[in-house]
Amino acid sequence: MKTTKRTALCCFATLMVATYFAGSWTAKRTDAPADASATALDSAESADAAPSVNVPMLSVFPATTHRPRHSGYGGRPSGHVAPPAVLIPGMAYGIGYKPGERWVEAETRERPDGSFPPVVSAVRHTTSYDVIEAKGRGTELAVVLGRARNGDSILERWALTQPIGAWTATRTPAPPVVGVPVATASLDIAIQGGGSFLPPSQRTAPAPATRIEVYRGPSFGDDLELEVDPDGRFALILSRDQVKLWRVLLEENGEAVAVHDVASMPELQYMRRMQTFRHVAYGRQLRAKLHGHATLTDVVFFDSNNDGVFEGHLFFTLQEFAQFGLPHDWAEDFTNYTGVGAPHQW
């Protein structure tokens, strides 16, 4: 397949990032009060809808890596996971955590006036279980995978709220069903509350996260990885020790369904770094690396009509992956949730 030319939107994204000068930096951090709630709630309360506004052309944050970073990146203590960020002009936002501990942190890095260092604010939410992994979509959705004291796996869907006066980046979620094609909503950038932008120092603490327990039951295993549907319908849980890929609908009492197992796909044991993209011609795709495999380097799952059901998958060597036109034919990276292109375009 011939590699397509970059669209005008992609060029715009590249130009935006080019305005940011390289170099190491430190951040000034302000911590908002923690959310002390440690139990799952039965229902979610959505934040007040904020009207769309025009985004001023502020300095842009550099693109983060596709997956979270460990080893104390960005001044964090060792072992803390630095989140992949929502990247919009003037703001980077993500969900951080430390595996084995009982908290998740919503972190915002902002340069409202384009100056260094960025202002970092974080809201810590505690849990009643050990966190294994957490992933966010935009500034309003987090999915947390954990382990209970008795060894059961726990999966929760959280509705997050930005403080009044802060930027938000959201998409309208789809109903938690599969088998029905979905047109992904466009990214909506607004100011929480609908008023004017407020500097971080002038904001009050946001409302606590509203949580729904979507799964509690037999363990998925110990060597796990989480990926969240960009439309908020389901979570994918890769269990390398069970050699299974699970799908759980993000609704109360969601059922865990094995999408693949060792019989249908023994290569699951090598999969790492699941990442969701939109292909310019073939629609929704999930890509993962195959670490440690003798010959293969990548696998791509296809969901061309975005109904949440994979039609199939292909394995690639490094050379085949490039010949197939990837990653240059990916038009949007949902992991970083930018709405301005895929990583190779930054």
pLDDT tens, position by position, 279-328: 888 889 999 999 999 999 999 999 999 999 999 999 999 889 888 777 67
> What local confidence, expressed as pLDDT, does residue 87 receive?
66
Prediction pTM value: 0.76
Q: Greater confidence, 283 or 50? A: 283
> What local confidence, expressed as pLDDT, does residue 335 receive?
57
pLDDT per residue as tens digits for the range 4-31: 333 333 332 333 323 322 222 233 344 4
Which segment, 83-92, 153-162, 197-206, is predicted with the most confidence on average?
A: 153-162
Determine contact, residues 66/83, Cβ cutoff 8 Å: no
Determine contact, residues 171/187, Cβ cutoff 8 Å: yes
- Identify the band that residue 211 occupies on the pLDDT scale cut at 50, 70 and 90: very high
> What local confidence, expressed as pLDDT, does residue 187 receive?
79
The per-type count for the chain, helices as H runs and strands as E runs, is 2, 20
Q: Greater confidence, 72 or 183? A: 183
Handedness of CA 62, 65, 71, 76 (dihedral sign): positive
18's CB contacts (< 8 A; 6+ apart) are none
Q: Encoding tokens for residue 198?
A: 């407020």
> What local confidence, expressed as pLDDT, does residue 116 receive?
73
Q: How far apart are CA 143 and CA 158, in angstroms?
A: 6
Q: How far is CA 244 from CA 50, 223, 241, 290, 293, in A?
A: 40, 11, 8, 15, 17
> What local confidence, expressed as pLDDT, does residue 258 receive?
96
- The total of other beta-carbon atoms located within 10 Å of residue 251's CB is 16
Kindly tell me if the per-residue pLDDT of 86 is higher than 70: no
> What local confidence, expressed as pLDDT, does residue 14 receive?
33
